[in-house]
Structure 1
Amino acid sequence: MINRFHSLIQDVTETEQKRKRSDIAALQSQINPHFLYNTLSAIAMQAEMEGSYKVSDMASQLGRFLRYTIGYRQDWVQISQECDHLGIYFRVMQFRYPLIEFKHQFDEKVKDWLVIRLILQPLVENAILHGIVPKGTNGIVKVAIIDSSGPTGDDRLLILVEDTGLGMNQETIAALRSYLKGSIVDNKSNYGIGLKNVYDRISLSYEDRFVFDMMSEEGIGTQIRIELQRRHTNENLGG
């Protein structure tokens, strides 16, 4: 019993240390984005005054993207806010990759459900930069937000992110799953860093009450599947 008690204390301490390190990293990352946000606002205003409306729109959309990224203090937001932010991000990306198409399915019943902030955009970014762009052709990214609640009243949110990119073989998928769960460390490639960030934050916030999986086929594309238990407050499960 005493050993179990000490083990629980150690687990709580380690979790709190991870959160503090994450907070420090987040504060450090806010310095440059604030400067960029103010600069982009000035560029947008100047471009509009000179009639360069496409440049103005691009700078304005990127400014809105940064504002959401660095401006929100709360860790939990409504899923509708996440989807709005994702739409802004994709519009910005289409300036650079105009051949990529974005499809979005959204269940209105879940629009006010709470999720941790910034879980959709890194997944879509990963799909674009590591899936479609290396393929060298046009492609599609699909995002579906679905109420997957069971008949027992267990409210659950299903998030699907699919792309028509390069895809991966089963050996790569297995290695990526191990990387996400921390059983292997890969310092040679940045592939999966966005996925790892999302996975770690979900793991800290939902403990073992979530599903995070991937399916992929070479030359066809990849699907990320996340299933989360509905949250009614913005407090961490362990807090």
Structure 2
Amino acid sequence: MDIPTLCKVTQVADQQQSYETALKENPLNAPQPSRSGRQKRGVAYHSRLWAPGRTLLIAFAADIPEQTQQSIFEVACQWLAYANLKFQRTADWAEAQIRIEMKPSGTGINHSLVGTDALLREDSTMTLSDWPGDEQFQRSVLHEFGHALGLDHEHQHPDADIQWNLAKLLEYAEQVGMPMEEIAENFLNRIERTQALHNAYDPGSVMHYPIPATFTLNNVAFTGSAQLSDGDKALAGKAYPFTPVHP
């Protein structure tokens, strides 16, 4: 089953700690109330957005060639035209908020922590297996950095009514060694409408999986974008608004 490199969002084990870290960074990460106006007991879903205007330090594993590091950095910076954030490279692995390692080309799955969850890890926060020159390089870098900025998978949008072919997903899971619970977390589970920052469903988003027709019961395919869509740009601006400049 030949499909492009996919992403597996990395979860932190302690959701209470994730919640406290997110709120300390940006109070707007507090869970949204339910439609009834009542907040469920315990830790509900919360966003993991950085504070607007924040400079995020990016470090690369020492075995990644300088030219590759710069290529990744330049692609990632495409988000900054639309999000009020800054990226800065650093050689200090410990002080960086985003720490990148790479696996051999063709390994098949990329990994990333979502937004402020990166503050809870001391090792790498992002893994890439698409290198400069690989067909999926730009798409993968933009996608993983979308997660690093706190954005969710677009194919799990509450209005993304994808008719998944479960048998084919199970076949894929066996092929790549992905447990069924991770298939559910990264493919099947839709985000509740009140649980995350989103705009209208955008199948052209760089945060949407490329999905072959065989993965759907109605043979609908999604090609996956290697460019930031208008929806991506709007959502980045909504998450990280620029402070108006007054004369």
TM-score by length of 2: 0.29
Larger Rg: 1
Structure with the higher helix share, 1 or 2: 1
Higher relative contact order (CA 8 A, sep 6+): 2
Larger strand proportion of the pair: 1
Instruction: State the TM-score, normalizing by the size of structure 1.
Output: 0.30
